[in-house]
Amino acid sequence: MLKVQNLSKKFAQHGATVSALSDVSFELPAGASLGVTGESGAGKSTLLNLLGGLEKPSAGQITFNDRDLLRMTDQEEAKFRQQDLGFIFQFHQLLEDFSVLENVMMPLLIGGTPRQQAEETAQIWLDKVGIAHTAKRFPKEVSGGEQQRAAIARGLIHRPCLVLADEPTGNLDEGNADHVFELLCDLNHDLGATLVMVTHHADFAKRLTHHMVLRDGQIKNWQTNLK
């Protein structure tokens, strides 16, 4: 269960204070998938960054499976990121100087998996996301859709239990976006992970188990999609 209570984040901007997120509370059962929509500037990325520990909130609490994510030691936090968290960004952020295969195996290497085993697992994941043929190429030698698939493989390879995705289909054409969305949902389902996905496709969000609409940093609408 992911539990967020009275979460707020203020930023200083040109001498003024901007409330990117104010008093956001919600509960998401384990294994559920939450689609977050809202206009640009609504606070979607801020919410995701707070959940992933990339930013610290101004106020509020986040617990995941009864662990207080905001009161972990540096060591606990590092371990949580390495083992439990998968992050998939809009601009896939693959490392340019490494091959697609090396990018995908990176989380395993960082987690201490021996190189050969990491390589074999990465091959399996490239196959799962349908880009086995790109293993030896560099990110700029493959298409945008293939890069995004690689980013998904990299975000899930260590079998995280909380997956955060910020507009993972944001810069793909419609057909590709649909495929990548389905792929991410299927893989996430196989892992049994909890998924929080920011998307500007409202119909994607409606296909997840929960849908949150943010406006001006607040929850405008919260819906449970019964299937």
Binding site for Mg ion (CB under 5 A): 44-45
Give the nearest distance from C-beta 193 to ligand ADP in angstroms: 22
User: How many CB atoms are located within 10 Å of the residue 33 CB?
Assistant: 23
* Closest by CA position to 84, among listed 167, 171, 164, 173: 164
Give the nearest distance from C-beta 93 to ligand ADP in angstroms: 16
What CA–CA distance (Å, rounded) separates 174 from 172? 6
What CA–CA distance (Å, rounded) separates 198 from 108? 25
Judged by beta carbon, residue 23 or residue 135, the one nearer ligand ADP is 23
Residue 73 binding target from ligand ADP, Mg ion, none, CB below 5 to 8 Å by type: none
Give the nearest distance from C-beta 45 to ligand ADP in angstroms: 3
In one-letter notation, the amino acid at residue 161 is C
User: Does 121 sit near ligand ADP (CB under 6 A)?
Assistant: no
User: How many CB atoms are located within 10 Å of the residue 57 CB?
Assistant: 22
| One of 5, 23, 26, 41 touching ligand ADP (CB under 6 A) | 41
Stretch that binds ligand ADP, among 11-19, 61-69, 98-106, 109-117 (CB under 6 A): 11-19
Strands 210-215, 2-13: parallel, antiparallel or unpaired by DSSP? unpaired
User: Does 43 sit near ligand ADP (CB under 6 A)?
Assistant: yes
Judged by beta carbon, residue 20 or residue 163, the one nearer ligand ADP is 20
| One of 2, 4, 7, 20 touching ligand ADP (CB under 6 A) | 20
Residue 203 in tokens: 């119909």
> 5 pairs with which residues across the strands?
61
Give the nearest distance from C-beta 11 to ligand ADP in angstroms: 3
The DSSP letter of residue 133 is G
Alpha helices in the chain (DSSP H): 44-51, 74-83, 100-110, 115-128, 144-156, 174-191, 202-205
The DSSP letter of residue 114 is -
User: Does 17 sit near ligand ADP (CB under 6 A)?
Assistant: no
- Which residue ranges make up the site for ligand ADP (CB under 6 A)? 11, 13, 18, 20, 38, 40-46
